[in-house]
Chains A and B, each alone.
Chain A
Amino acid sequence: MQQMTRRADPAPSRWAYKVQRLWLTPVFRTGLRTGLPVLVVALVAGIYLGNEQRRADLFAGIEGIKRDFQERPEFMVQMMSVDGANEKTLKAIHELMPANFPLSSFDLNLGELRDKIRGIDAVKDVTLQIRSGGVLQVNVTERIPVALWRGPEGVEVIDAEGVRADKLGTRIERPDLPLIVGEGAKQNVPEALELIAAAAPLKERVRGIVRVSNRRWDLVLDRDQRILLPEDDAIRALERVIALEQAKELLTRDVAVVDMRLADRPTIRMTETAHKELLRVRGVKIED
């Protein structure tokens, strides 16, 4: 039997040959292998995102997934626990809280919150911590009020550093605290406190202490009596006045000012009526 099968031509067609040569061209090859996929992806993304509605949907979807993750129970803060704050501060802190609990810990900016709480007058320092179990722990260190300071804006409660801890309407609200007045008084609160402590025997009569010229102190008693204290050794001078009071009842008499500024020459100034009375007693007549 004669087989009439024709052997296939091994030669590539003109087109196959050209295509293979084109494919072996480096520029074409890289263009097709990387350029084309990049182009297609960019095109698809561009067409998809070209529509306003789809873009919004896409972003909403992403936002939703993000929210779902952030609102998992393990990230939720259920309640706040404040330690070391009194009623008034607690109220202020509650007012500062951004929203109602429960909320996600991703929404809580603890640093910003801490700065805000520090802005409250009565708070000296605060630490915030999200504890396991979804509790926002707020540890507050309050300022300890030691004195009242009366300035142009009214009466303030200050701590030992002279920083305002609270504002008062009138001085009567805190009768237990001494009153400090005058320029530079706030910066020298411990000194003033020492003087007031030294004036304990006169406690009933002390109205406050005044910083004069940001240099020295005046102790003000009732009946407009003043004890002018020197710049140095003010406590010793005060103790001498107290000793005089206890021995000679100096302050009980009708004296307006006890001037102790010169240590070797204490001086007193009498009131107007006391002066006239003394002249009358002495029988001095002053002609007009």
Chain B
Amino acid sequence: MIELYETQRAMRGLRKAALQRGVIAILDVGTSKIACLVLRFDRTDSFVEGEDIGSMAGQAGFRVVGAATTRSRGVRFGEIDAMAETERAIRTVVQAAQKMAGVRVDHVIATFSGARPRSYGLAGAVDLDGQQVTEEDIARVLASCEVPDYGSGREVLHAQPVNFALDHRSGMIDPRGQIGNTLSCDMHMLTIDASVIQNLAYCIKRCDLELAGFANSAYVSGTSALIEDEKELGAACIDMGGGTTGISIFMRKHMIYADTVRMGGDHVTSDISMGLSVPMSTAERIKTFYGGVYATGMDDRELIDLDGDSGDWEHDRRTVSRTELIGIMRPRVEEILEEVRARLDAAGFDHLPSQQIVLTGGGSQIPGLDGLASKILGQQVRLGRPLRVHGLPQAATGPGFASAVGLCCFAAHPQDEWWDFDMPVERYPARSLQRAMKWFKDNW
């Protein structure tokens, strides 16, 4: 637990330093593309004293000054598969974004979709003896949450308090200053495979950049694709990426569940490639130009040329009707959505008061997907695009950039995490230096 505090706090310190310097980079390491945005923070209003633990108050005014995308290489299922290739791809995209921004970037916040995220709900309670709730009490109640055994080789990515309750009053956002006897809290913890994080950190270090934070892509695309009342009332964001499909459920403006289906747009492409026996690049082109999930009578007559350069005339001059293409794509898309449905059911999504589902990510651009999704996932389905942020180029406003834009918001308004609060004194290891310092401070 202590190491987690230290690493996360160190990254938080780096993030603050980057905000002070005014420039930070956003890196979205996806399976099909890697996007980099360079943000410039202009400190219009001053940093509010005593609120540094909150939402980085006063640091909201940012502007995208550089943006670049490149084809991802060496990434499978949102995890780094070939380090050198990924490193080169990151170098390409960072260089292009730096060139556009005209500034050197030293700190980078990364997001990735893979690494098998797993959600845990934690609960904790402390006795208050009728005193006012102070910041220390909040730290104590967070520390009192019982951490489950999430297995070796896994790391906590997010640990966010989602609900506070004081005696019998629940659903509090900020219990500080109120009086009660028992303070309890619910926390959402997300764990991931540690090796994935280590690989990514190593890649970024190899590019002379410093990792100033990381976030799960399902979470950040939820923050940018969902609108405020969807987040408040309960909604699920389905981020259909290249190699994975991320699921995040929001409730009362907090993420309460996140998961990943290890299937995405690349599987659709490989199905087309196998079914029509064309190369992956041709399959990708056909998918983006002619793809769909609902066939009509018109589609029988629309023939698609399957160009090839095998030298065999018969093989190179094949055509396929759009109906056939849709016939290949639809089962796979349905399979993905069925899997998403299963994960949502497992998370108890059908118990939420509002069951809005928002589809985003590059895969959500398949024509007719919303119709298909509403059959499988429920009636309230819409296609989501990311928020409009200042200075974002037109090319980067599509649903494929939901997680990149969400990460911008994450950089500007980070949510309180467990480690943003001071660790309670009794949790420090005995005879620590800090304890001695505290004793000195108290007695002199």
Contact = CB atoms under 8 A, between A and B. Distances in A.
B309 A20 contact: no
Nearest to B207: A17
Interface residues of B, number: 17
B99 interface: yes
Interface string B93-108: 0110011001110000
A247 interface: no
Nearest to A9: B88
Contacts of A14: 91
B310 A20 contact: no
Given A9-B88, A20-B95, A1 B309 contact: yes
Contact of B310 (A2, A12, A18): A2
B91 A21 contact: no
Contacts of A1: 309, 311
A20 B99 contact: yes
Interface string B240-266: 000000000000000000000000000
A7 to B, nearest CB: 11
B98 A21 contact: yes
B415 interface: no
B70 interface: yes
Interface in A8-42: 9-12, 14, 16-18, 20-21, 24-25
Contacts, number: 35
Given A17-B207, A18-B208, A11 B92 contact: yes
Nearest to B310: A2
Interface in B194-208: 207-208
Contacts of A24: 98, 102-104
Contacts of B103: 24
A24 B88 CA distance: 19
Nearest to B89: A11
Interface string B207-226: 11000000000000000000
A17 B95 CA distance: 7
A37 B369 CA distance: 62
Contacts of B310: 2
A11 B99 CA distance: 14
Contacts of B207: 17
A3 interface: yes
A29 to B, nearest CB: 9
Among B94, B95, B99, B103, the one with the most A-chain Cβ atoms within 10 Å of its Cβ is: B95
Interface string B78-94: 00000000001101101
Contact of B104 (A2, A11, A16, A21): A21
Contacts of A18: 208
A110 B240 CA distance: 95
A1 B312 CA distance: 9
B208 A10 contact: no
Interface in B296-319: 309-311
Interface of B: 70, 88-89, 91-92, 94-95, 98-99, 102-104, 207-208, 309-311
Given A11-B89, A17-B91, 10 more contacts: A2-B311, A9-B88, A10-B92, A12-B95, A14-B91, A17-B207, A20-B98, A21-B98, A21-B208, A25-B104
7 contacts: A9-B88, A11-B91, A11-B92, A18-B208, A20-B99, A21-B208, A24-B102
Closest 8 A/B residue pairs (Cβ): A11-B88, A24-B104, A11-B92, A17-B91, A12-B95, A25-B104, A21-B104, A10-B92
